[in-house]
Structure 1
Amino acid sequence: MKIAVTGGTGLVGNALVKALLERGDEVWNISRSSSSAINENPRLHRLTWSELDASPRILEGIDAIVNLAGESVNQRWNEAAKGRILQSRLQAAGRIEKAVAALIRKPEVIVNASGISIYGASENTVFEEDSPATINDFLSSVVEQWEAAADRIAVERIVKLRVSLVLANEGGAFPKMAMPYRLFAGGKVGSGDQWISWIHIDDITGLIIFCIDNPQLSGPVNASSPHPVTNDAFGKALAAAMGRPHWFPVPAFLMKAIFGEMSTLLLDGQRVIPRQAMKKGFHFRYPTIREAMEQLLKRHM
């Protein structure tokens, strides 16, 4: 297949591009710069946003577009950062909309990144793809507008991939979450009862490919493990895999003081189930937190 990936230099995008090339696909990696490495795979084509804006027909014949572009939310949310987080997502979706409109043959599918924040937070509710949106904070508002922008892209099938916490050693939040345990200072955050919905980097990569290949999948798809865990259970699994104690609790007021509004990512939980992926037969390589931690940390409990 011929597949375009935006945000292909990010954590998930980099893993996805690698997986697509390994299975024999031809990939267009769209980013802000088009630098390439020596001896790079001949089936990998690099394209800048500016080049796409100027010549959208360069994507003629593309079978699928995966849009992962967007400013990282892992920063303090001042007004300037909030503006960048929102606008980067809306601009990427808008540019794809314009590029697709210029194509004679439209892509068969758009897989557009989204987020589980759209469901709101709860310690009791289980969220699935048909759960109603709860727009009551910054991130849920971003996701609502992001998905609305994706819906304007004129293709027959749009998958809105609602991404949970991605666990990977190469970046994202996991190395930062593991650091206190490396220093023998790990423990639950806040009450520890808040739910963490998570997914291993290999599984989100596989799920994106599954969404591309499976014409029955459209609309919201939760990119999360079928077994979410509480913050306390997450920390215990991490500590056990590292051979470290889980004993040093971090009070909620301290997290709010350090991270400000972004502390909601750590203190407010969501128990999300990937019902659509499960119904269509997607196989998770690392469905439990124990299996994920063992693989990531290369230890056995």
Structure 2
Amino acid sequence: MEKKIILAAGTGFLGKSLAHFLVNKGYQVIILTRGKSKVEGEMKYVQWDGIHLGEWAKEIDGSYALVNFTGKSVNCIYTKANREEIISSRLDSVKILREAINKCKTPPQVFVQAGSLAIFGDTTAVCDETAPHGTGFSVEVCQKWEKEYFKESLPATRQVLLRIGFALGRDGGALEPLTKLAKLNLGGTVGAGKQYISWLHIDDLNEMFLQAIENDTYEGVYNATGPNPVTNKEFMRVLRSVLNKGWTPPAPTPFVWLGAYLFMKTEPSLALTGRNCLPKKLQQEGFTFQYHNLETALKDLI
């Protein structure tokens, strides 16, 4: 019988990629979704609301692993209502999934939580897992999120939290809008360009999830990012090169603020801040990266 893996809120960019990756590895994948329950191809979708226990909880009992992607997208303007939903969607899902696990007769052997490197704030200092946290709303979200996740230990279930970096993939995700801008000859340096992008290829990220699921030495917090972060200036230069685009004028900080609020309908800090993170614990575990070089990764994806 196939081992069953539950992906909570697995309908987003990262969740879809991991779902197909796991199916190809021979796992049965169940996706918890706010949409209707259905079977589509090799995927089974089960409705849940991310807040209350329901029939969906039966899927977790007897499953091999649970991976949680739940959380309102931070790609929005940080109004009071959006801030509240960004926090509550993350904390509520962790609480109810933990409750479901505690009610299982046969609990999953691992609970993997998708987190964020944003906990380090805006810094050019090198950040491994032990680096000090930053300040600001995004940091506050991550701190509350991680505190809730590790609030209680689960006797029969390992807990692994992956602080995910700037994941580069096909057909969506963080790379898509930057590629569109570059193709329109708008792919210049953003702001000062000194902010770091801690990038990783989606294939490496999927392998990190697989290791967290299958390898019982994985436990605690990991920086899920590549080994070679670059500045925004360097990232945009390499992206233009891969797309055969020449030099493009930079986007000064005031223009980024204006464009973010008026046209992108998102928070400008997402483009103007960054962090220089390294996957120290993954490297100590012996994780092998398929993509070390940004140009090689972008050529593969574009």
TM-score (norm. length: structure 2): 0.91
- The aligned counterpart of 1:47 is 46
Residues 88-138 of structure 1: per-residue CA shift (max 9 Å, x gap): 111111110111111122221111011111112212x1000121223x111
Whether the 8 Å contact between 2:189 and 2:249 is mirrored in structure 1 is yes
Task: State how 1:75-224 maps to structure 2 within 5 Å.
Answer: 75-123=76-124, 125-134=125-134, 136-152=135-151, 154-155=153-154, 156-224=157-225
1:278 to 2:283 alignment: yes
Of residues 292, 295, 300, the one that matches 1:290 is 295
Change (3 A) 1:78 1:57: same
- Quick check: 151-160 or 10-19, which moved more? 151-160
Instruction: Assess, with a 3 A threshold, how the Cα gap between structure 1 residues 211 and 180 changes in structure 2: closer, same or farther.
Output: same
Distance 1:153 1:175 in 2: 38
Matched residues in 2 for 1:131 and 1:93: separation? 24
After TM superposition, where is structure 1 displaced by more than 6 Å over at least 4 residues in a row?
A: none
SS at match of 2:53: helix
Q: Which runs of 5+ in 2 are unaligned?
A: none
Q: Distance in 2 between matches of 1:289 and 1:268?
A: 19
Q: 2-side partners of 1:50 and 1:242: how far apart?
A: 41
Q: Which consecutive unaligned segments of at least 5 residues does structure 1 have? A: none
1:32 aligns with 2:31: no
Return the letter of the residue paired with 1:224: T
- State the distance in 1 between where 2:172 and 2:78 align: 20
Shift of 1:27: 1.6
Distance 1:20 1:116 in 2: 24
Q: 3-state SS of the aligned residue for 1:238?
A: helix
TM-score when scaled to structure 1? 0.91
Verify the 8 A CA contact 1:160 1:220 in the aligned structure 2.
Answer: yes
Query: Percent of counterpart pairs with the same letter?
Result: 29
C-alpha distance in 1 between matches for 2:5 and 2:15? 12
1:259 paired residue number: 260
Amino acid in structure 2 at the alignment position of 1:277: L
- Aligned positions, number: 292
Q: Is the 8 A contact 1:3 1:27 kept in 2?
A: yes
CA contact (8 A) 1:13 1:68 kept: yes
* Cα distance in 1, alignment partners of residues 151 and 19 from structure 2: 25
Alpha-carbon separation, structure 1, partners of 2:132 and 2:221 = 11
CA distance in 1, matches of 2:130, 2:183: 39
The answer to whether the Cα contact below 8 Å between 1:185 and 1:246 also exists between their aligned partners in 2 is: no
Q: Deviations over 1:53-104 (max 9, x none)?
A: 2232332111211001111111121112112211111111111011111112
TM-align CA RMSD? 1.8
In the alignment, is the contact (CA less than 8 A) between 2:39 and 2:45 conserved in 1? no
CA shift digits 1:170-204 (9 cap, x unpaired): 21221111122101222101111111111111111
